[in-house]
Amino acid sequence: MAKKFHQPTRMCLSCREREKQFNLLRLQCIDGEIAPFSGVGRSFYLCQNCLKEDKKIIRALMRQCRGGDREKHMNTLKEIITDDRKS
């Protein structure tokens, strides 16, 4: 019988749902700016359902990145999502 490997479970920043780590998008705030996770520092996860709902996610992003410009955060997030889907 094949051995089952442990898959880490992480929580979405916006909806607080727990999912497998590979189903979530990992991001981080660097100096108040949203960026893809670089491998160093604190990060947060967003699920696919929340990525579709702008209103739901903006509040969580403002809390995580400690303020900043809402439109700038949303534009950066949309760029990261489209870049992630291309690769």
pLDDT at 85: 67
**Which CATH number characterizes residue 39's domain?**
3.30.1230
Q: How many domains does the chain have?
A: 1
Could you tell me the mean pLDDT of each successive run of 10 residues in the chain, 87 residues long?
80 93 92 90 92 83 83 87 74
Phi-psi label, residue 67: left if phi above 0, alpha if psi -120 to 50, beta otherwise: left
Neighbouring C-alpha atoms within 13 Å toward the C-beta of 8? 6
Is residue 4 in a domain? no
Is residue 3 in a domain? no
Is residue 53 in a domain? yes
Is residue 17 in a domain? yes
pLDDT at 67: 76
Is residue 33 in a domain? yes
pLDDT at 17: 94
Domain of 46 in residue numbering reads as 11-86
pLDDT at 87: 61
What's the CA gap between 18 and 13, in Å, rounded?
10
At residue 63, φ and ψ (nearest 5 deg) are: -70, -45
Is residue 1 in a domain? no
Alpha helices in the chain (DSSP H): 48-51, 54-64, 70-86
